[in-house]
Chains A and B, each alone.
Chain A
């Protein structure tokens, strides 16, 4: 909201400079975002929190300014000096439901001359960004900005009669509003109607046909109080927000409505002439005063600062509260403009605001320690650290995705959790799987010509029943040179790279290695832990990749459930004594058929060599010119060792010979 310094000074005798006033208001919770010097005045851009509708007016800000600068208010709530209405007849107000509209006032002013506003009025409105229309409309706006109560002037002659109805719109009822837009109304929308039809959307905007124009002679001036919730719903439904709806939604008090109606009427008569013919009010005009008690000790208990009761009293009184003190507490009467104040703590806040939060001491709390063995957070942190240590970068992708992505990854659209009110089609679904979003991130990097992309993400996936699950996603693409113990292997085999990363993760977390089994349906692999399926390895389809402009690349991805891992991760690891006895290593290089797995080889070697064989390590695998088609050449290193003594060549040689023989016989290996 915009506000100008001189307008404010009409109501409060401040001597503080505009900048200093801006600072003090800000530190009291009325944030001044900017102060701009313009046309000999200062325009304040202020941000008003939704609990303070009273600040949506010059007078409301003036009250605050008086309190923060210790200045005097100059608000005269004078009853306007209007001649007694001559003929007190004609206006009849019917309110269908008092809950929708607790007060409706109408004044008939006859014989006005609608024309341009005086320069001072135009200037003030323009400085706060409100376009000048004509004197009558400008005055209703000026009164609204001054008091906070939106007013509306109808061209009285264009109403069917002076019988006003405040009612819900009928089904199918229509209205063209002042902005020229055709509005379809319904029973959730409150309207101001004459005997025939709706003439205004209550609290939001008037109708075009009863608008005050240059030819208007007689006006009906409305000031009312509408149900904030109803106004809010209607303006959302109609998709329009006005200065009026903004204020009604936040709540206006009776006092303000009555006073500002008088103020505007007086001003119209002063500036546009005419006579007040009739004034009617319907509804609750009485104001109920709220009284709240504030214990001195509660102030200390919440703020942690000792403030003397005298100071508290001064603060509250300066803000317009009525205060009566006793030994232990105040009894505080709330002014009608302060609808937001409902209980003790609201008043404690008032005291804190004006006392100055900067004047409250800072004290680090003693927090009761809450030791927990290992939290999810710790294990997730560790998981991420094990992954980055392996060269994989952490990504964070959007959890909301579009239909296209679901379809590309063959996910049944009907089974995915879905938003009722998506912002756009791009974010309509909650991802059922983490892989798709990671592949999209990988695609972006591939387009940047990154030779190697390895990303992981720890994030949620969602299922149709609106359940969520924390998973780990991995995506790999490109070539990576991996230094193993004895060789540099250029990894093409994406599945094996996935396996390696996962194995390191599991051993790092102290979890048993998972089983990795071929998955016939996806031609990828299933990851099982304790015979429970916890994840998938997949090779991303070329169709999905091409849709993301990725060509000639193989992309591998995995998704692993973290819930299972979080449960299994062990807080402690067990030490296995290391052997102090040296090992004897024997290398074998041999050619076997492609269909022989490495596991078959190691199983056979262990079965043959028994306890002496500690490990079979792979040092090289080769396919190429010197090797027959359909075959591969393995070079493995057999490590022989006993835990309790040194082995001799004599012991190892015959056993190793048996291993070699077994390989030749059982797996038709050709030793090279």
Chain B
């Protein structure tokens, strides 16, 4: 008789527990069964009225039930904490969109500039800027690029209407290198700077050309600066930005403002040197130009080239961003389509 009762109570408790979903309801149920005046207490209260020979068995059964119920409630509580409800149904549909404030993104060009500048910052370089409207001297002559010389072809330039009453030819800088002239003219060596900024060239716009783009310029001047230092600094840079696994190559090249000059290639980060459409089967990607500052540049800014030496480098930010992110059209950077901007 007692056993039947116990079994019923247990089944009833199990049934009721299923629909319980919060702590409060669980507590109420616990009180209903195990509380001071709960169902179990009521069951126990019958014992004194039972025949003596039945009391022991009944008491034992009730105790078993009490333990079972306690375990049921404990288990339920644990399940609720871990969220593992019966039927494995989570309390929250976690496939719903997360709840968050919108945050904006820095333009990929800014992100790449920051990354480049940070690498050099860690080596002790300071970050400077320079104007976009420049003099012909700073953009060309001071950098040992003679007027009417074929070396200027690479630096086709937008000229500005001159100011009234002035003969000075003004232009939109065609590279960030005029900042070198400005910095050296205004400071004494030693110098170690990077200069990010916009530059302009009259190039018709297509997937790989733009009349406006960004460069980062670098310049180190001190006693005892050598080509070996140029290689060391640029290897650090390339490995930090493109990954430790890349290999590099320094090819002699020509720039009017450096001598010796080099172009720097990295192993293709897309095909890992197997040859692909981006590196044009050459397995190498050109990432920057650099060299030892030409004595004529030092002469123009009043540094003694017999005491000081230095290296300079310049790189196109769009190109590096395109390689890093796999972007195939430079125009995307300046359209500012949110579907593009939000990817970075």
Contacts and interface: CB of A to CB of B under 8 A. Distances in A.
B128 interface: yes
Interface in A387-425: 387-400, 417-423
Nearest to B262: A357
B85 interface: no
Given A49-B253, A250-B150, A360 B228 contact: yes
B104 A394 contact: yes
Given A305-B228, A364-B229, A445-B337, 17 more contacts: A304-B229, A343-B295, A353-B260, A357-B227, A360-B231, A364-B232, A365-B123, A369-B124, A370-B126, A377-B127, A389-B104, A397-B336, A417-B133, A423-B158, A441-B336, A448-B339, A456-B104
Interface in B325-344: 333-339, 341-342
A398 B251 contact: no
Interface in A312-352: 343, 345-346, 348-349, 352
B11 interface: no
A362 B232 contact: yes
Contacts of A460: 132, 198
Contacts of A367: 123-125, 190, 192, 220, 222
B211 A400 contact: yes
Contact of A362 (B150, B170, B203, B228): B228
11 contacts: A304-B228, A345-B260, A358-B250, A360-B231, A364-B232, A365-B233, A367-B220, A369-B124, A419-B161, A448-B337, A466-B170
Interface in B103-125: 103-107, 109-110, 114, 117, 123-125
Given A345-B259, A364-B233, A444 B127 contact: no
A434 to B, nearest CB: 13
Interface of A: 26-29, 31, 33, 49-52, 228-229, 232-233, 249-250, 301-305, 343, 345-346, 348-349, 352-353, 357-358, 360-365, 367-370, 372, 375-377, 381, 384-385, 387-400, 417-423, 427, 430, 441, 444-445, 448, 450, 453-456, 459-460, 462, 465-468, 480, 483
A376 B151 CA distance: 33
A420 B335 CA distance: 26
Contacts of B231: 357, 360-363
A274 B195 CA distance: 64
Contacts of B162: 466
B226 A304 contact: yes
Contacts of B200: 400
Contacts of A423: 158, 202-204, 211
Given A249-B150, A368-B192, A422-B158, A302 B227 contact: yes
A420 B226 CA distance: 41
Contact of B133 (A302, A372, A421, A468): A468
B123 to A, nearest CB: 6
Contact of B338 (A31, A369, A445, A468): A445
A443 to B, nearest CB: 10
Nearest to B157: A421
A371 to B, nearest CB: 8
A346 B301 CA distance: 20
Contacts of B136: none
Among all A-B residue pairs, the 9 with the closest Cβ atoms: A304-B226, A304-B228, A29-B252, A49-B254, A388-B104, A365-B229, A349-B260, A391-B102, A367-B124
B130 to A, nearest CB: 11
Contacts of B233: 364-365
A483 to B, nearest CB: 7
Contacts of A364: 123, 229, 232-233, 236
A304 B104 contact: no
**Interface size range of chain B in the complex:** 35 or more
Interface string B143-158: 0000011110110001
A302 B202 contact: no
B259 A394 contact: no
A375 B196 CA distance: 13
Contacts of B110: 384, 394, 396
Contacts of B232: 362-365
Nearest to A343: B295
A449 to B, nearest CB: 11
Given A399-B198, A448-B337, A233 B148 contact: yes
Contact of A399 (B212, B227, B337): B212
Contacts of A357: 227, 231, 250-252, 260, 262
Contact of A381 (B114, B198, B224): B114
A670 to B, nearest CB: 36
Contacts of A394: 104-107, 110, 341
Contacts of A249: 150
Nearest to A422: B158
Contacts of B123: 364-365, 367
Contacts of B225: 365
- A50, A228, A444 — which one has the most chain B CB atoms within 10 A of its CB? A50
Contacts of B260: 302-303, 345, 348-349, 352-353, 357
A421 B127 contact: no
A563 B110 CA distance: 19
Contacts of A29: 251-254
- A345, A369, A390, A454 — which one has the most chain B CB atoms within 10 A of its CB? A345
- A357, A392, A430, A455 — which one has the most chain B CB atoms within 10 A of its CB? A357
B163 interface: yes
Nearest to B150: A50
B159 A421 contact: yes
A27 B233 CA distance: 20
B253 A377 contact: no
Contacts of B124: 367-370
A360 to B, nearest CB: 6
Contact of A372 (B126, B198, B222, B339): B126
B175 to A, nearest CB: 15
B294 interface: yes
B127 A453 contact: no
Nearest to B169: A420
Nearest to A394: B107
B92 interface: no
Interface in B92-106: 101-106
A298 to B, nearest CB: 9
B292 interface: yes
Nearest to A368: B190
- A358, A365, A392, A460 — which one has the most chain B CB atoms within 10 A of its CB? A365
A337 B331 CA distance: 43
A465 B170 CA distance: 11
Contacts of B129: 376-377
A301 B338 contact: no
A462 B220 contact: no
Nearest to B223: A301
A496 to B, nearest CB: 17
A397 B341 CA distance: 13
B307 to A, nearest CB: 10
Nearest to A441: B336
A535 to B, nearest CB: 20
Interface in B190-224: 190-193, 196, 198, 200, 202-204, 211-212, 220, 222, 224
B210 to A, nearest CB: 9
Contacts of B250: 357-358
A454 B104 contact: yes
A456 B105 CA distance: 10
A51 B254 contact: yes
A357 B251 CA distance: 7
Contact of B107 (A50, A228, A391, A396): A396
A51 B148 contact: no
Nearest to A51: B254
B212 A395 contact: no
B334 A27 contact: no
Nearest to A419: B158
Contacts of B107: 393-396
Nearest to B222: A368
- A250, A362, A372, A392 — which one has the most chain B CB atoms within 10 A of its CB? A362
